[in-house]
Amino acid sequence: MDVTEQETELKALVADILAEAEKQGADQCEVSVSSDEGLSVNVRKGELEQVEFNQDRGFGITVYFGQRKGSASTTDSSRAAIENTVAAASNIARFTEEDPCNGLADASLMQTEVIDLDLFHPWTLEPDVATDLACACEGAGLEMDDRLTNSDGASVNTQQSVRVYGNSHGFLGSYIATRHGMSCVLIGEDESGMQRDYWYSVGRNQEDLDAAEDIGREAARRTLARLSPRKASTGTYPVLFAPPMAAGLIGHVIGAISGGALYRNASFLIDSMGKQIMPDWLSLVERPQLPGQLGSAYFDSDGLATHEKAFVDSGVVASYVLSSYSARKLGLEPTGNAGGVFNLDLDGTARDPAELLSGMGTGLYVTELMGQGVNTVTGDYSRGAAGFWVEDGQIAYPVAEATIAGNLSDMLMNITGIGTDVDYRGNIRAPSILVSEMTVAGDGSG
């Protein structure tokens, strides 16, 4: 069965489930279905280690009896399984307490337009071809330097998926999408010991992936750069977050202005609407309907239409991140963000990463973070870090076993620059971010 036939079949099943929920007395129902299939190949030291084919399907069913809610799931689409799963969800709902915020989003807010976001680009990839690509990726990295003594392997994978969501308002929407990836993890060793690093490429279209050899060489370059690390100086210094680390930093902001954290009073940005939390030259803008991008969606997990919006506009909080439930809890309107954000960009005057390094003088360039030392209630931030020490605006040497600390409120206001090196490999598309001042703990000197 090809993907369009799967989409048609799943839509029919969702309609059947909605009808069954109504038959069993539910006032409202919503159903989400996912179907995934793909291939993943892993090699290590030039030898095939694993070939995995996956084919998964799951149904999530939520029913509402008044303002009581019950949910159940199944992987079985037979008539008996559907009836039993709806019955299970209904039984749960009957024994739960009423919540005045439960229920579907308002029917008037449902997405009414089907938008082709160019997310489906299948890759006919045979296991032997995938194996050759993975070996080429790993081999190109290992041959760069004799100090690259080992490998944690290289992988190539391709996935295609169908997503269908429907509810008793009559909304029935679907996506078909692909996601392809390639990665490599290498281990280097010198007299100071071993270091590991990696690189990867991911995209909707195989043509968007970096060349296999380029991925391996970048993994090699990054691993070699980490050999013979030293301790960081201890003191207060500028910190430059590499793009993947910067995405995590912005993720804390999004988490703090998300409805769930706000209505639970578990955020350092409670009552921040209309308040400045970042420099006035910086905005966080969501662009959900960009063609072909990893984070694109034309409706959210509630069936609401997505739209471009600024969560932070010229440094000021302009919108929270709200599902229909969290919006009701806060007495606000939903923002089309059930399930999170879609293609979040940092808009502001960007500079070349080398210029950011030059401008920071002496400080720490962070390329890896460890630990979970972030308190989203208070904003206190303390994490293990690795990367590179910067002196006179130039990378001086690799750093391991450092700790960086601050408070997110101060860190955000102390952003003094962003780079042109945007990482498009996730929902938060972040460049390098320079924070003018953080506490760095290393060997106690400085």
Per-residue pLDDT for the chain (446 aa), expressed as one digit of tens each?
788 899 999 999 999 999 999 999 999 999 999 999 999 999 999 999 999 999 999 999 999 999 999 999 999 999 999 999 999 999 999 999 999 999 999 999 999 999 999 999 999 999 999 999 999 999 999 999 999 999 999 999 999 999 999 999 999 999 999 999 999 999 999 999 999 999 999 999 999 999 999 999 999 999 999 999 999 999 999 999 999 999 999 999 999 999 999 999 999 999 999 999 999 999 999 999 999 999 999 999 999 999 999 999 999 999 999 999 999 999 999 999 999 999 999 999 999 999 999 999 999 999 999 988 899 999 999 999 999 999 999 999 999 999 999 999 999 999 999 999 999 999 999 999 999 999 999 874 55
Gap between the Cα atoms of 214 and 351, Å rounded: 25
Supply 273's token pair: 């609407």
**What amino acid is encoded at 95 in this protein?**
F
Asked whether residue 163 falls in the same domain as residue 59, the answer is yes
> Which residue matches tokens 């962070």?
366
Asked whether residue 148 falls in the same domain as residue 46, the answer is yes
Residue 132 Cα distances to 125, 158, 186, 402, angstroms: 11, 15, 18, 39
Number of folded domains that form the chain = 2
Please report the sign of the dihedral spanned by the C-alpha atoms of residue 327, residue 330, residue 333, residue 336.
negative
Within-domain flag for 259: no
**What amino acid is encoded at 257 in this protein?**
I
Asked whether 284 and 344 are in contact (CB, 8 A), the reply is yes
Gap between the Cα atoms of 236 and 337, Å rounded: 37
Within-domain flag for 354: yes
Gap between the Cα atoms of 9 and 59, Å rounded: 13
Gap between the Cα atoms of 11 and 159, Å rounded: 20
> Which residue matches tokens 């070349």?
352
**Domain encompassing residue 54:** 3-225
Closest CA to 58 of 14, 2, 23: 14
pLDDT for the residue 445: 58
Supply 12's token pair: 């029919």
Asked whether residue 106 falls in the same domain as residue 242, the answer is no
Asked whether residue 97 falls in the same domain as residue 207, the answer is yes
Gap between the Cα atoms of 160 and 152, Å rounded: 26
Asked whether residue 131 falls in the same domain as residue 239, the answer is no
Within-domain flag for 8: yes
174, 193, 225: which is the final residue of a domain?
A: 225
Asked whether residue 243 falls in the same domain as residue 192, the answer is no
Asked whether residue 187 falls in the same domain as residue 115, the answer is yes
Asked whether residue 401 falls in the same domain as residue 354, the answer is yes
- DSSP-derived letter for residue 170 is S
160, 193, 225: which is the final residue of a domain?
A: 225
Asked whether residue 364 falls in the same domain as residue 402, the answer is yes
Gap between the Cα atoms of 131 and 129, Å rounded: 5
Name the 3-class secondary structure at 261. helix
pLDDT for the residue 446: 52
Tell me the β-bridge partners of 418. Answer: 350, 433
Asked whether residue 10 falls in the same domain as residue 140, the answer is yes
Asked whether 298 and 263 are in contact (CB, 8 A), the reply is no
Asked whether residue 216 falls in the same domain as residue 93, the answer is yes
Within-domain flag for 11: yes
